[in-house]
Amino acid sequence: MRKAVAFTVVLSTLLGAFVALSAPATAGSSQQERFVLNFNAVTGPGTISAAGIFNDSGTAIAIHPIEWSNTVKYDVVFPEFGGFTLSGNGDGVGSGWKKSNCKGYFFGQTPYQLSNGYGRYSGISGNGTIHISGGWKMSPNADGVCKISRTPQSGIVWKVHLRAQGPASLPAS
């Protein structure tokens, strides 16, 4: 009997977590929202997960990645519900380059805003702070020299991780 009760409690907990993770946005409310974005390329799609006023996962497309400009802009798409833009100014993000081992890195934090919502996220607003970390590794050129340029190059391995948190709100339906 105890095993059956324990199994039922675990199953109920897992089912509740699943429902919460796939829950749509709650219109007319405001609360803290947390995002995690991960990229394996300087441009192109990455993954995003969100938790707070809405819980979902989807794709983030780097429109202005922090690596090449002083702005941050990502189009966020949640396939079943819609999407929005997450953007910031890039202030507070630093970078470095180790020529000896062909590795670069960047880190820091910058403010962000939520805008341009569509679908269930139409009218979304919010702001907060993005914490950015990442780096790249490249192979030396034919002369054995590591040289980075401000334009995307082939043969570079990227890892970008962003954590963002702040208040978000959706208008009432």
pLDDT in tens, 61-98: 877 655 545 667 889 999 888 999 998 877 777 788 88
* pLDDT at residue number 165: 95
In angstroms, the first-to-last Cα distance of the chain is 46
| Percent residues over pLDDT 70 in the chain | 71
**Percent helix / strand / coil, the chain, rounded to 5:** 10, 55, 35
Lowest mean pLDDT among 34-38, 61-65, 113-117, 143-147: 61-65
- In order of 35, 40, 154, the CA distances from 115 in angstroms are 15, 25, 32
pTM for this one?
Answer: 0.71
Average pLDDT, the chain: 76
pLDDT in tens, 6-31: 323 332 322 233 233 334 455 566 78
- Kindly report the CA angle at 128 between 47 and 118, in degrees rounded to 5? 55
- Kindly report the CA angle at 92 between 91 and 95, in degrees rounded to 5? 105
